[in-house]
Amino acid sequence: MNIKNILGGKIHMKCENTGCIYNKEYSCVFAVAPTPTLCYTQMKEGEGAMVEAFVRGRTLPEAYHAALCELYHNGELSPCPDYNTSQKELSMTFTIDEPVSEPLISRLFIGGPRELEQYRQEMLDGILDFEVEKGNWEYTYHSRMAEQFDFICTELKRNPDSRRAVIDIRDWRTDSKKDSPACLQHIQYFIREGALHCKVLFRSNDAPEAAYMNAFALIMLQKRFADELSVKTGSYTHRANSFHVYEKDFALLEGYVTRIESGEDCTFDYDGDWEEMMEEFKPEIAQAVKKLKGE
């Protein structure tokens, strides 16, 4: 990627610590990571505008780590009265060209192999949907998605070029009246050139505490559909209208970014030890679910 060509040969300033190239004429920032990740931040042109950031990487950790850096360096402080705190936020779109390629695991998320496996099962298999049935929770993502899974495959088998393969998660009748409306809004799938591409929309996404696990589980769902449709797993695009970090986690985000920008290897391969560890936690997770059910 020739950054000079992108900027028309008009580079004004480069930060040696972050690799970000600041172009005042276009009011934007291009962040050049050690790997070929492209980050573009459209800075505010007016007083009422929000910062828009765009990241593209080959793997999930590559794009996720670049997104964290963009938030840290370019996010803006804003009040968050619903939770009696403040936050740093921007609007973020990150695209992963090879979402199931290694390395797949980031070291920079809250949890480990057990938590990641449980969340994968919650999203794909609905292991906690019983909490909705008991009336303890308003929803789970799976409880709102599951009835739509068959439609995705049926529609894309009917017409592989379809633009109608959409899963809706938001229930406006419920979410508009509740204190904890769904953050994930909808998912759309496309088959293009023999690969299944996935595009998701979050109204709100907690960057250091939720974004990685959200993306990992949604990529696993994408792969499940791709396998059923006998196509390759294509790109994954993650859009968060509010990609944010709460004040209590400012230090956490700073720590993550310090590690990323130091050049430390912040990834693991999924194939091998991590996959085996996640598999080994399945009986423990199943037992915990039985206990919650009172069985």
Q: Is residue 124 part of a domain?
A: yes
Q: What is the pLDDT of residue 44?
A: 61
Q: Is residue 10 part of a domain?
A: no
Q: Provide the CATH number for the domain around residue 266.
A: 3.30.572.10
Q: Is residue 88 part of a domain?
A: no
Q: Domain containing 225: what range?
A: 101-293
The predicted model scores a pTM of: 0.88
Contact 103, 274 (CB under 8 A): no
Q: Is residue 9 part of a domain?
A: no
Q: Is residue 82 part of a domain?
A: no
| Average pLDDT by stretches of 10, the chain with 295 residues | 34 41 40 53 67 94 96 94 95 97 97 97 97 93 97 98 97 82 95 98 97 98 98 98 98 97 96 97 97 91
Cis peptide before 34 (omega within 30 of 0): no
Q: Is residue 257 part of a domain?
A: yes
Q: Is residue 146 part of a domain?
A: yes
DSSP conformation class of 8: T
Contacts of 9 (CB under 8 A, 6+ apart): none
Q: What is the pLDDT of residue 235?
A: 98
Q: Is residue 78 part of a domain?
A: no
User: What is the rounded CA–CA span in Å between residue 142 and residue 213?
Assistant: 15
Count up the domains in the chain and report the number. Answer: 1
With tokens 């250091």, the residue in question is 208
DSSP conformation class of 43: -
Q: What is the pLDDT of residue 3?
A: 34
Contact 191, 229 (CB under 8 A): yes
Q: What is the pLDDT of residue 40?
A: 66
E strand map for the chain: 13-14, 20-23, 28-32, 38-42, 52-57, 76-80, 85-96, 105-106, 166-168, 184-192, 195-202, 205-206, 232-246, 267-268
Contact 7, 28 (CB under 8 A): no
With tokens 């204190």, the residue in question is 179
In this structure, are strands 232-246 and 195-202 parallel, antiparallel, or unpaired? parallel
